[in-house]
Structure 1
Amino acid sequence: MSSVRVLVATAVPAEREAVARAFTGPVRELPLPGVTVHRRGGHDLIAAGVGPARAAASTATALTAAALGGTPYDLVVSAGIAGGFAPAAPLGSLVVADEITAADLGAETGDGFLPVTELGFGTITHRPPEALVRVIAEATGARTGTILTVSTATGTAARAGALRTRHPRALAEAMEGFGVAEAAAAHHVPVLEIRAVSNPVGPRDRAAWRIGDALAALTEGFGKLTDVLARWNPHEP
C-alpha cells in the first residue's frame, strides 16, 4: 500500500483472498506458529480464524513476529464480510468502524445485560484514528458507525432489536474485530475495521445472503485504499 506497514486480518481464507485481489504480484507465504502471513506486493494478510479469541491470538502472533524482526506494523486492519443492520447498511455496502465494540462481553442479569465495563473490568470499545476513518469513508463511499463484535451471530429479530437498542449507532456485526483490536492495542498499534455487508442482521435466511457481492465489494474497497494510506501519517489521531 505504501511505506506504511499494514497487517490485514480476515477470519477465513476467502476473505483474505478477496483483499489480496486488490493488489498485484506473486504471493509469498511466511509461516508463523498458528498462522501464515501472505505477502503480496508488500501487503501482509492473514486468515486469523473465526471468533474474537482466535483472531486476537493470530493477530498477536503476527504483530509480535514483526516487532521482533525489527519491522513492526504501523496499522492493523480487521476486514471481511459482515451482517448489516437494515436499513442503515444494505447488502453489498461497505462500512468502516469509528467504534469497534464487543457487544456480548459482560453479564446477563435480571435487569438486562451489563457490559464488562460496568462490572469493573477492561474495555468494550476501541476507537480507530478519526482522521483515517474519515478519509477512508470519503475514498470508498463507506458508511461509518459502530461495528459490533459478537461471539454468537444474531439469528432472530428480537436479538437484532436488542443490539440496536443498546448500540443505536451500530451498522454491522461480525465476530473478529474486537479481538483484532485487543491485539493491536497490546502492541500500541492503531486499528481499523472494514466490512462488506453480505446479509441482514436478524433471522437467518441463507437464500438472501449475497456473499459473492460482499467479497467483490471488499476487493473494490481495498483497491481504493492505496492512495489513502500513502498519504496517512501514523501519528495522526
Structure 2
Amino acid sequence: MRIAIITAMEEEMAPFRSQAHITSKTQVGKVIIEEATYLGQPLILVESGIGKVNAAVATTLLIERYQPDLILNSGSAGAFGAGLSVGDVVVATQYIYGDVDATCFGYEPGQVPQMPARYDLDAAWLDRAKGVAAAAELPYSLDFGLVLTLDSFMSEAERVEGIKSTFPAVKVSDMEGLGIVQAAAQYGIPVLAVKAVSDIAGHGDMTANSFDDNLDDVATHAAHFTDLLVQQLQSVYVES
C-alpha cells in the first residue's frame, strides 16, 4: 500500500521528517516531494506550500508521479465549533469551500460552479480512522466533522459569525484541505485529513498570536494521530 502525507508547512512536516529516513528529494516550485522509509515502510512526504492552489498543484504532482493508494493531509486549523480548544484534533468527514459564492446562479453556498456542493470523504477510510481513535489513548480531544477551506486567516469576528451562520456544522477551517481533496477526487484517490486546532477563529490579533505560539505543538498532535493511522493501515496491509 502506497501512502502519502501532505502538509502545507515545514513545521507541520517536521514530526514526520524526524522519524523518517529520506531516500530522495525533489522540488518543483514550492512543492517538496520526499521518498522516505517510515516505521520500516515506504512513505511519500509532500510539503505543498500554503494555500489551496499550492495544495492542488502538489497533489497533482504527487498522483501523476507516484499514484498513491491513500493521501493523508496533516496540519493545523482554526476552530469554529463550540467546545473546541487549542490542541484538539478534528478529522474531516466533509469539506466545503467557505468563501465561494455563486448563489446568484442557483448554486449552494460554497459550491464552485459545475462542481459538487460538498465533498464527502471516503466512508470506509473514515471508519478505519474512527476505529483507530477508539482504540487509542489520546493526549488530546478528537472529533470528526465538517471542515471548511478558505483563502483567508479567520481572525475577524464579524466575518467568522457570517460563516458560522452559513455553515453551522463547521468544526474548523484550513487553507489547503479541499484543494487536496478536490484534486485527488479527479483521480479517484481517497484522502483523510487530520487537523489540530492552533487558534480560535474570530479573536483578532489573539487568533494570529495563538497560531504563531502553538503551531509546533499542534503540528505534533496532528502528526501523532496521522502516525497512528499510518501504523494501523500499514499493519493491515502487511497482514493481508
Considering the TM-score relative to the shorter chain, is it more than 0.5? Answer: yes
Match of 1:89 among 84, 91, 94: 84
Is there any run of 5+ residues in structure 1 with no aligned partner, and where?
A: 67-71
Equivalent positions of 1:1-237 (< 5 A) are: 4-21=1-18, 24-34=19-29, 35-41=31-37, 42-66=42-66, 72-107=67-102, 115=109, 117=111, 120-140=113-133, 142-204=142-204, 205=206, 206-209=208-211, 210-230=214-234
Give the deviation of 1:132 after TM superposition: 1.9
The 8 Å contact of residues 129 and 191 in structure 1, kept in 2 or not, is answered as yes
Quote the residue 1:69 is aligned against. Answer: none
The 8 Å contact of residues 82 and 196 in structure 1, kept in 2 or not, is answered as yes
Q: How many residues align?
A: 219
Q: Which has the higher helix share?
A: 2
Q: Distance in 2 between matches of 1:134 and 1:185?
A: 19
Q: Distance in 1 between matches of 2:16 and 2:59?
A: 16
Q: Which amino acid counterpart does residue 211 of structure 1 have in structure 2? A: L
The 8 Å contact of residues 48 and 54 in structure 1, kept in 2 or not, is answered as yes
TM-score between both structures, scaled by the size of structure 1? 0.82
Is there any run of 5+ residues in structure 2 with no aligned partner, and where?
A: none
Specify the SS of the correspondent of 2:33. Answer: strand
The 8 Å contact of residues 50 and 176 in structure 1, kept in 2 or not, is answered as yes
Q: Which amino acid counterpart does residue 36 of structure 2 have in structure 1? A: R
Give the deviation of 1:124 after TM superposition: 3.9
Specify the SS of the correspondent of 1:106. Answer: coil
Q: Distance in 1 between matches of 2:110 and 2:77?
A: 24
Q: Distance in 2 between matches of 1:60 and 1:53?
A: 11
The 8 Å contact of residues 32 and 61 in structure 1, kept in 2 or not, is answered as no
TM-score between both structures, scaled by the size of structure 2? 0.81
Pair 232,168 (structure 1): closer, same or farther in 2 beyond 3 Å: farther
Give the deviation of 1:232 after TM superposition: 6.3
Specify the SS of the correspondent of 1:45. Answer: strand
Specify the SS of the correspondent of 1:131. Answer: helix
Q: Deviations over 1:44-64 (max 9, x none)?
A: 111111111111011101111
Pair 181,86 (structure 1): closer, same or farther in 2 beyond 3 Å: closer
Give the deviation of 1:139 after TM superposition: 2.2
RMSD of the TM alignment (CA)? 2.3
